[in-house]
Amino acid sequence: MGNMQQAVNTDEIVSRVSSVLADMTGDWDIDYEGEINRETRLIGDLAFESIDIVQLVVAIEGEFQKRGIPFEKLLMIDGRYVDDLTVGDMADFLSANM
Amino acid sequence: MPHLIANGAKIFYQQVGEGPDVVLVHGLATNRAFWFPHALQALKDDCRVTMFDLRGHGYSSMPVNGYTSADMADDLAVLMDHLGIEDAYLVGHSFGGVVALQYATRHPERVKGLVIADSRVHSVQPSQRIADQPELHGLEKELVKDSAEDLREEPHIGMRLLEELARQKVRNGGASAHEGFNPFGGMGKGERSAKLWLKLLDTTSARGDIRDSAGLTVERIDAFQKPMLLIYGERSRCIETCRQLQQRLPNTDTIIVPGVGHFHPITRPRYFTNAVLDFIGIAKLGEEARGSDAPFGPGFARRQGRQQAGWVE
């Protein structure tokens, strides 16, 4: 039951994060034409750069009305940015850290 | 998304943490993400950190003019007023340090202390040529070799190399021929940031404005009396500014970061963050600091400044 509840919550988070990303990237000149979903990669598909990640952090905190989420645990390894991450990675992280 | 209108520009900002106010001012061709991996993470547990994108950078808008350090200091003034920041420690890297110094000399009552990391101040360092610091490093060698023009006589070589790097990045579709540090961001290709920098240079008054000393005279600098930390890379092309400011302001703390160049807050981050924490009075004596080669502990900067007082001779 607990797992099912978590799965539902994560799906809802995926949906809300996807919506935030769609707003952010709406007027970008990028090749990606598919729907944003759990598998969408921020760098590989949406051509994210560092500033977009930082802005996404602000947008997600606004969307979920929560501050101080430890995003650095998701975004950094040994003081360097991760190579890429998916919407699903972000949703799972938020599910576990909000 | 938090933003405000400052002197006709839409300025995006964000605040993280609680405590004494620290405002971080990034340099040219980058944006507030410059601070995210290291400085923000080091400061946010003890300070309220404000980061913003300078006009023409990051998510902020790109008006056709208003890019002198004085103009951007006016934007900073609007930001601090808007956020109700009565006084703050200002930390600026490169041109961001010049903006912070402009603000600090105009509004000293709003500044608790100033950290200048590898800035070139035009009134004390009017030109910056390859010959002043002839040793070229990895990326610089390629850029000088690949450039269509002879860059050896270029009097603003730091800014010019940033432009050459951006043009190379856009030509190569975002790929960099060099594996080292990427001034256009640590995540993704940085191609959009490179294009944004070229657009700023090619379509606005920025190129000329940035070279304008904009009233930041030696007299104004000499009159500044608040605590100041200069932290410069040993191989930096801005080091003449460090020498000059150190001579003019004898009570200023100075740290030279060994073996690194202009981008030391990223390439040698722990050295930088521990020095900033020490300067603003927050000593981090945890395992992390002990295990690193970085300076830490109360009074480090002052001791270091005295030790290095002779190196300008």
Inter-chain CB proximity B188 and A79 less than 8 Å: no
Task: Give the model confidence (pLDDT) of B168-190 as tens digits.
Answer: 888 887 666 555 667 776 777 78
User: pLDDT tens for residues A16-48?
Assistant: 999 999 999 998 888 888 899 999 999 999 999
Q: For residue B284, what pLDDT band results from cuts at 50, 70 and 90? A: low
Position B306 pLDDT exceeds 50: no
Query: Is the CB of B32 inside 8 Å of chain A's CB atoms?
Result: yes
pLDDT-derived band of residue B146, with 50, 70 and 90 as boundaries? confident
Q: Is A69 on the interface with B (CB under 8 A)?
A: no
Whether residue B307 has pLDDT greater than 70? no
Q: Do A49 and B188 touch (CB under 8 A)?
A: yes
Between B35-44, B93-102, B290-299, the lowest mean confidence (pLDDT) is in: B290-299
Q: Evaluate the CA torsion angle B47, B53, B58, B60 in order and state its sign.
A: positive
Name the pairing type of β-strands B228-233 and B111-117: parallel
Q: Which residues of B touch A90 (CB under 8 A)?
A: none
Task: Please indicate if any CB of chain A lies within 8 Å of the CB of B193.
Answer: yes
pLDDT given for residue B286 in this prediction: 47
pLDDT in tens, B216-257: 999 999 999 999 999 999 999 999 999 999 999 977 999 999
Residue-averaged pLDDT of chain B: 87
Whole-model pTM over 0.80: yes
pLDDT exceeds cutoff 90 at B296: no
- The whole-angstrom separation of Cα B268 and Cα B38 is 10
The letter for the amino acid at B79 is L
Segment B288-302 mean pLDDT: 47
Question: Which residues, at least 6 apart from A34, have a Cβ–Cβ distance to it below 8 Å?
Answer: A40, A45
Compute CA distances A59 → A18, B1, B222, B294, whole Å. Answer: 12, 6, 43, 34
Which residue of A51, A67, A81 is in closest CB contact with B193?
A51
Work out the minimum CA distance from A7 to partner chain B, whole angstroms: 29
Rounded to an integer, what is the distance from CA A59 to the centroid of its chain? 10
Q: Check CB contact of B183 with chain A, cutoff 8 Å.
A: no
Measured between beta carbons, which residues in chain B are less than 8 angstroms from residue A82?
187
Please list every residue in chain B whose beta carbon sits closer than 8 Å to the beta carbon of residue A51: 31-33, 53, 58-59, 185, 193
Report CB contact under 8 Å: A50, B14: no
What is the rounded average pLDDT of the residues A70-90? Answer: 92
Confidence band for B285, pLDDT divided at 50, 70 and 90 = low
* Interface touch B193/A55, C-beta < 8 Å: no
Give the per-residue pLDDT at B188. Answer: 78
Nearest to B2 among A52, A58, A76 (CB): A58
For A44, the closest chain B residue by CA position comes to: B188
Closest Cβ–Cβ partner in A59, A68, A81 for B186: A81
d(CA B35, CA B77): 20
User: Complex ipTM, two decimals?
Assistant: 0.90
What tens digit of pLDDT does each residue of A54-63 get?
999 999 999 9
Give residue A30's pLDDT.
86
